[in-house]
Chain A
Amino acid sequence: MLKDNTSDVTVGEAVASHENQAVDQHFNFAYLDERTKRMIRRAILKAVAIPGYQVPFGSREMPLPYGWGTGGIQVTASVIGPHDILKVIDQGSDDTVNAVNIRRFFQRTTNVEITTQTQAATLIQTRHRIPEMALTEDQIIIYQVPVPEPMQRLEPRERETRSLHGLAEYGLMHVKLYEDIARYGHIATTYDYPVLVNHRYVMAPSPIPKFDNPKMHMNPALQLFGAGREKRIYAVPPYTSVESLGFEDYPFEIQRWDAPCELCGSRDSFLDEVITDDQGGRIFVCSDSNYCETQQNTVEQTAVTAAQSVLKDV
């Protein structure tokens, strides 16, 4: 669905549209054949019907190795249509290698409109972050997942973890959290923090920082998760309960920083730490590049408007 796009064209967008090529005729739309897409869509439907439950699927060979987002790509390829507007981010940024390559892949195979604006996109494929700006009911966010099984480190046998999920036996998850508190004084997990979905399944939300976990709760958008190497798809339907695990006396807490974003002044977003010199100088910058830009423009706009009104009064 097209969104009204009235903000200035960013550097990222300019680069992207310059790279825009004609659809490569050697491939089916979005690379996967239609039967594969149907198979994946069936898996997605199942996943949506059982929030948080890992649905096995026949993961295909993709033109990039495991560990580079093949699961996310397959899910995107199965739901993308010619009128979709696609945003791809990696650790919050549109400009990193992974994001650029995946975006280029979809341009070659679908020729859909691409964007860096979170609010303009209909599909967002992401590696390890949720955009800062709130999503809507018209959007789908697709997460790239390395390890779909939240208990994998504690119980490597899949036969066992499947039983545990089936019987809702999640004592083991809390053992891990208990161990963290015993060892470090607090729950040490800072990313891929396990959540309870729809009061039933414990899910690995992918290595997003725990800062992002609250965004998953009651989100109007459809959240899909794809793990290509592990061959699992799972989903959180819109407006679904997603609670991060914790103890009554050691509840789940998100990260906080002492400093605001150096570029846009935000105190509400997830910040990356950037080392600036050899003396240990550092600054904190928004991880979500689109959000940061938008904030900066808003600040600038406010400043320009304020200056203009001052000049007007002169």
Chain B
Amino acid sequence: METMEKTAGTTTASTSSDVLLEVRGLKMHFPIVRGIFGSSKGWVKAVDDVSFDVARGETLGLVGESGCGKTTVGRSIVRAYKPTGGIINYYGIGKEPVNLAEVEESELKAYRQDIRMIFQDPYSSLNPRMPVFEIVGEPLRNLFSMSRSEMEDRVREALVRVGLRPEYIRRYPHAFSGGERQRIGIARALVTNPKLVIADEAVSALDVSVRAQVLNLLENLRKDLNLTYLFVSHDLSVIRYICDRVVVMYVGKVVESAPVNDLYSTPKHPYTEALMSAVPIQNPALRSLETRIRLKGEIADPSNPPSGCYFHPRCRFAQERCKVEAPELRPIGKDRMVACHFAEDLSLKGAVMGHAAIL
């Protein structure tokens, strides 16, 4: 562990025995294929050298805007993709870690019950032709050889856990509202008794009143079932609410990681600051203050990223060095990492500061 931490900078959990998942230098590059012969015309570096730890029982947030690679990280961990490079050490089974990035497809079954995923869209992620029993029970059938009655018991149990009536077991998805469908998706993830749940924008498609219900449900389930979450989202308010620690990504790279309150009160990377500043706040009195940071331009293209620090064309603090030299992710303060040359010199505004100004 010690040596690994030194070489691959990351946010580390307090003690190494607490680590459930260790991601080191993860790379996922997709070829850009053109023409009928499928010749590769370059690479989209969706995830490029990403490292972080997930501690047992914590909720780690992975936040960033579209195209930053946060979803690809999640999908690499459940091995929907075979990563181009890097290590995904899983400490859930036995004493020795298993590198999920290298495990053969045929050997993945054992991990697929341990690491489960919740998806964003409760409408398209459930098969409309399957009753709830089949949707929630399918992983049991695929991963275990289980009798039908045993399966039915497990499915009913999972439905009760997520706050749905077990009688709904024969119904089809169309009979449910968005919030209920998301609960079905959560039941499907939990039915195998997983240790790690990857929630990819799990509440983003829900109405505001239902969103709070599902967030509270996820939080209660984590406590009751000793779950660990990797919570992937673009929504900084939701991340703040549910996460213990947060990893911020920009164009395939980690730019900052920190415990949640540290990140929101004193961001160390200019991108984190701008991201927080862009979130509309429910207070009309704040708008006249004009303290908002507005980013210029657009998110960089991961197939053709800028030189040096990927954020430099949009960064209000950018200097010559940023154009030529890519910053390493390095420790700054307790439990924090940042990838910015000038992190120590900047005094950035957190989300709390803007709010305190009017109180």
Are A and B subunits of one complex? no
